[in-house]
Structure 1
Amino acid sequence: MVCDLGSSMRKTRTMTHDKVVAAPQGLALAQITLGLGGLFIGTGEFAAMGLLPGMAQSAGVSIPQAGNFISAYALGVVIGAPALAIATSRMEKRNLLLLLAAIGLVGNLASAVAPGFLGMAAARFVAGLPHGAYYGTASIVAAAMMPPSKRAQAIGRVMIGLAAANLIGVPLTTWLGQSFGWRPALGLVAVGGGLLFIMLRILIPVIEADEDASPRRELSAFTRPEIWLTLAVATIGFGGMFAVYSYITPTLVQETGVAEGGVPLFLALWGLGMIVGNIAGGWLADRALIPSIFGIIVWNIVFLALFFLAALNPILAGASLFMIGIGFALVPALQARLMDVARHAQSLAAAMNHSAFKLSNAIGAWTGGLAIAAGYGWASTGLVGAALAAGGLGIMTISVLLMRGAAPSQETKHEASRHLPHDEPARRSTRRRSVEPVDGPLVGRSGCRI
């Protein structure tokens, strides 16, 4: 019996698994590049919050009115994520990342030089347009360079850049703004965008879009309840973190007794927790996605609730903020969940995750503000956050129950196969192969001559 088993197994593996794409200069540099993109985009978003007084003075408006610059960016995210994902559904992924980096570069550069209130608001809107689409596309590219069993970890490495923006980017731009003015600070963000463009061109592989991709197929995502429910988990469940974060400075100063100059240290603890959460969340999600999502949400409920008491003591408050930051592990886990249930609408689903997080920011800030205005105290945002996280837990429960009640789908099978050894589907396929009788030497479908 003569067999070409190597050729047969290679063919079987190609058919049963998505091909792992090789990065031109190595996987590590490609992952660093995607993470740096997250750092620059995240810094461009959050830096405006620390630079707001200077921007308000230049625009000739009050600080509350200048808050519209932040709203303009958020509006750009909410509109840009689905619009760009649909419009570019047939675009090669590296070129798409280059386009998104260019839009962000133009938006941040325009923000640094824009005169007047309307010009600055328009520039911030443009800067926000590529936000969700970048993180969504970068997640798809990162996953394509890793085997399915390590997909969530790859997504987590992209999101580390967003977490690092709070730990490194925001303090740096805030210092530059205080020392040299807000325009040079945003100019530095634009320079980072230019560097990102070059790195993407050199270090990211070409990944062709699905030949059957189309705007219509991307829009089909909106017909699937699993996608809406997962987005609702992000919108409601993650709002709890923003309920605390939106008012963290006055809470630390008024409730905890921290000097205003010491607030950045506590924010750094939060950012460090976010980085740890990204790493842990990706690792856990690759091993058991659904249980990990439930576990992370429960983690958030517990530590958000504890913040109500921990806020009375500086040491406990710092430890609590670090633990709450770890709850950012929910981001890569939900991104992986969306990619599981999206079927052929990967780009739109991945991008919409970040629109959902933008809405969670608004919901968290609004509900936390209601509690403070009602006289429950600054630390009451922790209880509000825990309640929102509990709402996300309930929505996730409904999503899983609906999934179990439905007939087994291709996504369910794919979710199970992600955790098998890389060649297990090939071995199973090979075991099912039969030998058909023919005239002459018997030849099996595997290529064996008997």
Structure 2
Amino acid sequence: MKKSLFALLLGGLGIGTTEFVMMGLLPDISNNLDVSIPVAGYLISAYALGVVIGAPLLVFIAGNYPPKKILIVLMILFTGFNGLSSLAPGYIPLFFLRLLSGLPHGAFFGVGAVVASRLADKGKEAQAVSIMFAGLTIANLMGVPLGTYLGHNYSWRYSFLLIAIIGLITLLCLQLWMPKLENNNKSNIADQLSFFKRTDAWLIIIITAIGTGGLFCWISYIAPLLTNVSGFTPDQVPYILSLAGLGMLAGNLLGGWLADRYSPAKTSFALLLCMVVSLMLVSFFSEYKSISLMMTFLTGALSFSLAAPIQMLMIQTARGAEMFAAAVSQACFNIGNALGAFLGGLPLTMGYSYTSPEWIGILMALTGAAAAAILIRGTQKSIIAQAS
């Protein structure tokens, strides 16, 4: 692995830890700050909202600077806001710090995805992007379980301190190993915004913002699902989260390979249908511990296998505005995060069981699959038209 890609992987590790550790910390933050679990779940939505705001905004602001400088500044912001989160005196300050912590997320992955594709060997662009996203999966394999363990046994504040330390290490690696690539972004704001005039772009946005919500309906409430339905103890949750992370790691690498071998659109369509089936199985069989463990691995694998294909869809669709489109993709992922956490929490507030969010996720994943099918059909028509 190239050292430059490893630096991006470390950034993904820190970002993935801060994004997903909240799912395991919800019970601890709920008890410590004296709020209900659904209210604590709004902290997940706050972070996602920060990503949605920050992704296009920061790319616009930093678009004329070299990629290395952009990545370093974004990681400074990430490290600072997560460090301050560990000092938050109450729920409201933590809510706004979570929002601010999300600002650099989408821009970092947006810039990083374009950088990774430029650093990749020819024909392996999606696999290079998947290496960066592997940081997210390693976060779920190691960072999130460790952060959950610290939060459950000591204090959730230590979890954010851990994230800040990862951010500092990433800064050092970016400075040492990231090459000084030229900024290829020659388009102005109007040119980049024209991306939204394309029908394909909106279909990809639907795939990402709604389709991936199925993942977040499931994982946002995975801790109470495992304890209240499957019957695991709170002490076992961090280890089960590492199983989900192992699945995400495997699925992410598989998704990158599939996107290079087949088309990203067809890969996304197939994986979203598989997610629908997986969420159904989670809802029906989570009361059985062995099946619950198996589905935790499988659902994690399916959900993160979408990361690289969707990112490559955005980059291929937005010639001339790749960095902006890749950042928009991350904003859309976190719209899915916010929608999944919010909509998945609605049946819980109405008194339904912790398996009910999965059915909201099924509807969201089906919507994304439908958008992918339309995208594939449109692409095939375009090829036929060009041939004739």
The TM-score, its normalising length taken from structure 2, stands at: 0.90
**1:308-331 deviation per Cα after TM superposition (whole angstroms, max 9, x unaligned):** 222131111111121111111011
Distance 1:157 1:219, change over 3 A: same
Partners of 2:140 and 2:47 lie apart in 1 by 17
Distance 1:130 1:322, change over 3 A: same
Distance 1:202 1:280, change over 3 A: same
Where do 1:168-183 residues align within 5 Å?
A: 168-183=142-157
Partners of 1:288 and 1:394 lie apart in 2 by 19
Q: Secondary structure at the residue paired with 2:19? A: helix
Distance 1:124 1:284, change over 3 A: same
2:336 maps to a residue whose letter is S
Q: 2:314 matched to 1:335?
A: no
1:214 maps to a residue whose letter is N
**Cross-structure match for 2:336:** 360
Partners of 1:203 and 1:32 lie apart in 2 by 9
Maintained 8 Å contact 1:90/1:214: no
Candidates 35, 47, 50, aligned match of 1:73 = 47
1:242 maps to a residue whose letter is F
Maintained 8 Å contact 2:45/2:338: no
1:317 maps to a residue whose letter is S
Partners of 1:372 and 1:61 lie apart in 2 by 18
Partners of 1:374 and 1:95 lie apart in 2 by 48
Distance 1:61 1:308, change over 3 A: closer
Q: Deviation at 1:139?
A: 1.1
**Structure number, greater radius of gyration:** 1
Q: 2:274 matched to 1:299?
A: yes
Distance 1:116 1:303, change over 3 A: closer
The 10-residue stretch of structure 1 (337-346 or 174-183) with the greater mean CA deviation from structure 2: 174-183
Distance 1:291 1:69, change over 3 A: closer
Maintained 8 Å contact 1:87/1:215: no
Q: 2:316 matched to 1:316?
A: no
**Cross-structure match for 2:35:** 62
Q: Deviation at 1:355?
A: 1.4
Partners of 1:139 and 1:237 lie apart in 2 by 20
CA RMSD of aligned residues (A): 2.6
**Cross-structure match for 2:118:** 144
Candidates 15, 36, 46, aligned match of 1:41 = 15
Distance 1:253 1:125, change over 3 A: closer
Distance 1:293 1:259, change over 3 A: same
Higher helix share: 2
Maintained 8 Å contact 2:185/2:320: no
Maintained 8 Å contact 1:251/1:378: yes
The TM-score, its normalising length taken from structure 1, stands at: 0.78
Partners of 1:225 and 1:155 lie apart in 2 by 24
Maintained 8 Å contact 1:112/1:183: yes
Distance 1:361 1:125, change over 3 A: closer
Aligned length: 384
Partners of 2:41 and 2:305 lie apart in 1 by 29
Candidates 165, 176, 183, aligned match of 1:209 = 183
Where do 1:190-339 residues align within 5 Å?
A: 190-210=164-184, 212-289=186-263, 290-327=265-302, 328-339=304-315
Q: Secondary structure at the residue paired with 2:2? A: helix
Q: Deviation at 1:67?
A: 4.8
Maintained 8 Å contact 2:41/2:220: no
1:291 maps to a residue whose letter is K
The 10-residue stretch of structure 1 (265-274 or 360-369) with the greater mean CA deviation from structure 2: 360-369
Candidates 45, 56, 59, aligned match of 1:82 = 56
Partners of 2:277 and 2:35 lie apart in 1 by 38
Identity of aligned residues (%): 35
**Cross-structure match for 2:162:** 188
Q: Deviation at 1:281?
A: 0.3
Q: Deviation at 1:349?
A: 1.0
